[in-house]
Amino acid sequence: MDRILVNPQIHFGKPCIKGTRITVQSVLELLKEGLSFAEIIRDYYPDLQVEDVRACLQ
């Protein structure tokens, strides 16, 4: 996947969205709470794109 990066130097190697320090786990937790893609981007991570959130689900 070109949107997700694993780097041992960032968050102890947890998968992150490329170009950010936002972990896939953080996005998945928000989705689990029932937030929509738009709400996650608007309220938590305005630098993300919908495709970034979709990549977290893969």
Span 9-54, pLDDT tens digits: 989 999 999 999 999 999 999 999 999 999 999 999 999 999 999 9
How far is the C-alpha of 26 from the C-alpha of 36, rounded, in Å?
A: 14
Residue 1's pLDDT is what? Answer: 65
Structurally, the chain folds into a number of domains equal to 1
Q: Which domain holds residue 51?
A: 4-57
DSSP assignment letter at 3:
S
Can you give the CATH number for the domain in which 8 is found? 1.10.10.10
DSSP assignment letter at 19:
T
Please name the residue that has the structure tokens 């041992």.
8
Threshold 0.75, pTM exceeds: yes
**Segment 53-58 mean pLDDT:** 95
